[in-house]
Chains A and B, each alone.
Chain A
Amino acid sequence: MAGDKVARTGNEAMAEAMRQINPDVVAAYPITPATEVAQLFSQFVADGKVDTEFVTVESEHSAMSACIGASAGGARAMTATASQGLALMNEMLHIASGLRLPIVMPEVNRALSAPINIHGDHSDTMASKDTGWIQINCENSQEAYDSIIQAVKICEHPDVLLPAMVSDDGFIISHCMEVIHMLSDDEAKKFIGEYKPERFLLDVDRPYTLGALDLQDYYFEHKRQEIEAMNKASKVIVEVGKEFGKKFGREYGLFEEYRMDGAELVILVMGSTAGTTKTVVRELRKNGIKAGLLKLRIFRPFPFKELSDALRGAKALAVMDRSDAFNSFGGPLFEDVRSSLYDLEKKPLITNYIYGLGGRDIGLDAIKGVYDDLKKMTETGKVEQVVNYLGVRE
């Protein structure tokens, strides 16, 4: 395995990835639990370890606006945020993707107010799922570090030219120190390569207009191209994940299939809970129970086809959402997974668990309980309760 084995928190890992990327511009505003990412990066700037123009702005809306301006000008631009910060950026998120600007943003998942809470859940990124951003969800610090580096290459690919947010779970990962393998600075630099945008506003030899009024005559065509870019991103994400694996020994795809060989009882989940679920799956497998885990990494673009193929053999499936969609029919992950399976002739029994809102702990027993429920479903052939709330007092 390439690189040094070091102890880093999720936030430190994200900041190190940014240091190695050495972006031209970083504009950021502090917000718990992502504050450290920009804070540590600002130290790298002060210590002369990067060449970045660091812009301290007055809000996340401004942070994203500054990144958009910088990226449109031809710079590699980054910011980092969480929760309310991401929500405040929302208007500008659409502009970054609509202008096809390959901005990469480390994001630390945190619950949205109200009630005010600083801990990890996925309501923030789920509220941004339809903004035209690629969304990469990470199980741990290692994946966050690796994925930020990969995201630069994915976003800047000529078939893609879309922004990406790379998320890990607030506090659970962002403030947990664990062992990661880092690339050398040189390896990281070579992997992402030099940024050579095809068009940019500071290109005085080829001036062009960006962000012009686009009414009934062409808006639709531009949006259609953006949609197509998102469709094509899947292929690029897989290619970049494979290349990363070949070079550094850690391959990445759209999702990870963990003990899915012959798995009949399957949990589908994103983020740190996937790691806890792996521990449970190992124990269940030891006892002869055919449990498996499908850890979704890429939520946007959503891998409809690939997921339905991977889930073909499952008898019962629990989709675990760390946020709710307030649609009276389960979480946002559940919506998309259930929809993916619609065309399968033989579908698994499918159920949804909303868990861990506001950082509520989800332990081994709770996950084991979900597998017990799945087993019961296969025995009765029925889904008793489609949407379940796990670990809440009712």
Chain B
Amino acid sequence: MAELLEIRWHGRGGQGAKTVALLFGEAALATGKYIQAFPEYGPERMGAPVQSFNRLCDDEITRHCQVTSPKIVVVLDETLIGQVDVTEGLQEDGSIIVNTTLSPGEMKDKLGLKSQKVYTVNASKIATECIKLDKPNTPMMGALVKVSDFLKLDGVIRDTEHKLKKKFAHKPEVIGGNLDSIKRAYEEVRGE
């Protein structure tokens, strides 16, 4: 991948949009890519719309401007649709992945997209079952790994396990569930 890949994450404060951008960035670094991961900082609070971003490239990334035309958009919370323009700047041949119960076709109509690919997965259900909490960020990372076809799933699982062991040293019971949720979303994401 000589080309730069830009990703935008949409979520609500508390859903882990920032954390997942960092996790995904580190997983990509582990495969030898250059990466950036950064959130948009504003007066965010629990439940407010938030965004975060990733850049990935084989070459060093020197730009430090905002991501304005992402190749992939990931939406952690479908109630943002209609409140935030989640497809803004999405490339003509780009993809959007939404956490929803809707099918890809239904979501494509809802978003009013034509050329772009739409993928859906019920990440909240997966999270609730695997982690016992509606934290859709790690399953959505699994879906992204599948859709972006850029990283290998087992590499991501390995790296994420390593990171989560550090982050949740005091709460090891959440680690297995998070890893399972990544695998399940990887399998269950559907596209059109």
Contact = CB atoms under 8 A, between A and B. Distances in A.
A173 interface: yes
A178 B36 contact: yes
B37 interface: yes
23 contacts: A7-B25, A7-B35, A33-B41, A140-B62, A140-B64, A169-B64, A175-B39, A176-B37, A176-B64, A177-B26, A178-B35, A178-B37, A178-B61, A275-B62, A275-B63, A276-B62, A276-B63, A278-B62, A278-B63, A361-B65, A361-B66, A363-B66, A364-B63
A225 interface: no
B26 A175 contact: no
A178 B166 CA distance: 19
Given A7-B26, A171-B41, A175-B39, A279 B34 contact: no
A118 B42 CA distance: 9
B141 interface: no
Nearest to B40: A171
Interface in A256-290: 272-273, 275-276, 278-279
A37 to B, nearest CB: 16
A172 interface: yes
Q: How large is the interface on B (under 10, 10 to 19, 20 to 34, 35 or more residues)?
A: 10 to 19
Contacts of A362: 65
A278 B65 CA distance: 12
Q: How large is the interface on A (under 10, 10 to 19, 20 to 34, 35 or more residues)?
A: 20 to 34
A363 B68 contact: yes
B41 A118 contact: yes
A49 interface: no
A137 to B, nearest CB: 13
A175 B64 contact: no
A5 interface: yes
A310 interface: no
Contacts of A202: none
Interface string A342-373: 00000000000000000001111000000000
A362 B65 CA distance: 6
Given A177-B35, A177-B36, 6 more contacts: A176-B37, A176-B64, A177-B22, A178-B35, A278-B62, A279-B62
Contacts of B62: 139-140, 275-276, 278-279
Nearest to A172: B64
- Among B35, B64, B66, B68, chain A packs the most CB atoms within 10 A around the CB of B64
A175 B35 CA distance: 14
A177 B37 contact: yes
Nearest to B64: A272
Given A7-B35, A118-B41, A177 B64 contact: no
Contacts of A119: 41
A119 B29 CA distance: 27
Interface string A15-55: 00000000000000000010000000000000000000000
A179 interface: yes
Contacts of B36: 176-178
Interface string B37-64: 1110100000000000000000001111
Given A5-B29, A7-B25, A279-B62, A177 B34 contact: no
Nearest to B34: A179
Interface of A: 5-7, 33, 118-119, 139-140, 169, 171-173, 175-179, 272-273, 275-276, 278-279, 361-364
Nearest to B60: A179
A279 to B, nearest CB: 5
What 10 A-B pairs are tightest by C-beta distance, nearest first? Answer: A275-B62, A176-B38, A272-B64, A177-B37, A278-B62, A363-B65, A279-B63, A276-B63, A361-B66, A178-B36
Contacts of A7: 22, 25-26, 29, 35, 37
Contacts of B37: 7, 176-178
A6 B61 CA distance: 15
Contacts of A6: 29
Nearest to A171: B41
A173 B29 contact: no
A272 B62 CA distance: 9
A364 B65 contact: yes
Contacts of B29: 5-7, 179
Nearest to B55: A178
A273 B36 CA distance: 15
Contacts of B68: 363
A36 to B, nearest CB: 12
Nearest to A178: B36
A171 B39 CA distance: 9
Nearest to B54: A177
A343 to B, nearest CB: 33
A7 B62 CA distance: 15
Contacts of A173: 64
Nearest to A32: B41
A175 B64 CA distance: 12
A363 B65 CA distance: 5
Contacts of B34: 178-179
A111 to B, nearest CB: 13
- Among A175, A179, A278, chain B packs the most CB atoms within 10 A around the CB of A179
A134 to B, nearest CB: 24
Contacts of A279: 62-63
A232 B190 CA distance: 65
